[in-house]
Amino acid sequence: MKSNVNRIIAILAIIIVNIGCDQVTKEMAREQIEYNERIEVIGDTLILTKVENSGAFLGMGSDLSPIFKNILLLGLPGLVMVGLFVFLLIKKDLTKLAIVGLSFIVGGGIGNLYDRILYGSVTDMVHIDLGGVFRTGIFNAADVSVMIGTGLILLEQFLTKKDQEKVKEAR
């Protein structure tokens, strides 16, 4: 019983820390960066610039009618976040890596949902350009949480598959 309580506390802590980091960085951007202002943190490689994204990934869906936009950008992600959270709480055989990864995804998703509900858009502020070889769109800490969580889930799947292969070889 105690391990289940600790597990739930860990899940909630990871989610809350992700939401908190996201909201603090967005609030700092809202207060300290002008819209479309360009602040070179590391030359042309790491740039801060504030934009409001009323769509989804890279602004997709920003032209949709309000009803479809609410369904696509609030309703569907809200259901997915609730579903993932419930899954995290009831699925007892998840690995620690899967728990952390899914918690990051839920925290990041909630961070962006919170913005959409409160402000009608998501504040993005970070752009990375590695000399044209690798370039991102403008993103925020919630996006980073979702990407880290996804990376952890992929890593967990890879490690699980390797473990299964070792078991098969041992037979």
- Say which residues have a Cβ less than 8 Å from residue 74's Cβ, sequence separation at least 6: 113, 116, 117
Could you tell me if 109 and 80 are in contact, meaning their C-beta atoms sit under 8 angstroms apart? yes
Specify the higher pLDDT residue, 121 or 71. Answer: 121
What is the mean pLDDT of the segment spanning 53-74?
70
pLDDT in tens, 20-62: 999 999 999 999 999 989 999 999 999 999 999 886 665 566 6
Burial class (CB in 10 A: 0-12, 13-18, 19+), 142: buried
Q: Of the residues 63, 124, 129, 163, which is catalytic?
A: 124
Model-level pTM greater than 0.85? yes
What pLDDT sits at residue 62?
Answer: 64
What pLDDT sits at residue 1?
Answer: 65
Tally of domains in the chain: 1
Is 143 labeled as catalytic in the residue annotation? yes
Is 63 labeled as catalytic in the residue annotation? no
What is the mean pLDDT of the segment spanning 76-105?
96
Could you tell me if 8 and 92 are in contact, meaning their C-beta atoms sit under 8 angstroms apart? no
Specify the higher pLDDT residue, 68 or 144. Answer: 144
User: Residue 145's domain spans which residues?
Assistant: 2-170
Q: Of the residues 63, 115, 143, 163, which is catalytic?
A: 143
64 — pLDDT class (breaks 50, 70, 90): low
pLDDT in tens, 108-149: 999 999 999 999 899 999 999 998 789 998 999 999 999 999
Cα separation, 145 vs 15, in Å, equals 10
| Encoded tokens for 23 | 């909201």
What is the mean pLDDT of the segment spanning 5-18?
97
What pLDDT sits at residue 81?
Answer: 96
